A = this chain, B = another copy of it.
Amino acid sequence: MADKHELRDKGLRLTPQRELVLSAVRELGHATPEEVAEQVRATHPGINLSTVYRNLETLENVGLVQHTHLGHGGATYHAAEELTHLHLVCSDCGSVGDAPIGAAANFVQNLADDYGFKTDVTHFAVYGLCAACVK
């Protein structure tokens, strides 16, 4: 896998644990560190939670994963290549929906034009009520 380069280029190593964490994030779509740990442990029970935390941080520095705040507190991790959508978090039922980045294009443009603010659309969650809960 090409991920190897991203790591090596920064003097980092590709360990089995690191591969497992990365593939867990890719499989899960979005996941908290706890969920990643659980997923990894399904096949490799010995892996320590702090290793998961450290690897998520490392992989984020390298650019292979990214985190988003979905609100409740902790961060949620995504594989970097999947970060092409916004998160619509329902304040009622807690579900997390997706919307393409394009939906925010004019909003981002507004902020750039009026405030010089360069919005990172992938990093924030959008709160509100999902279609199901609006009813």
Residues of A at the B interface (CB closer than 8 Å) are: 69, 71, 73-74, 88, 91, 97, 99, 103-104, 106-107, 110-111, 114-120, 123-131, 134
Q: Which residues from B are CB-within-8-Å of A117?
A: 88, 97, 99, 126, 128-131, 134
Q: Which residues from B are CB-within-8-Å of A73?
A: 73-74
> For the complex, what is the distance from the CA of A106 to the CA of B129, rounded to whole Å?
17
> For the complex, what is the distance from the CA of A129 to the CA of B82, rounded to whole Å?
22
Q: Which residues from B are CB-within-8-Å of A91?
A: 120, 123
A50 to chain B, nearest CB (A): 18
Cβ-closest 9 pairs across A and B: A116-B131, A107-B107, A119-B128, A123-B127, A118-B129, A120-B128, A120-B127, A124-B127, A69-B71
B126 x A111 contact (CB < 8 A)? yes
Q: Which residues from B are CB-within-8-Å of A126?
A: 111, 117, 119, 124
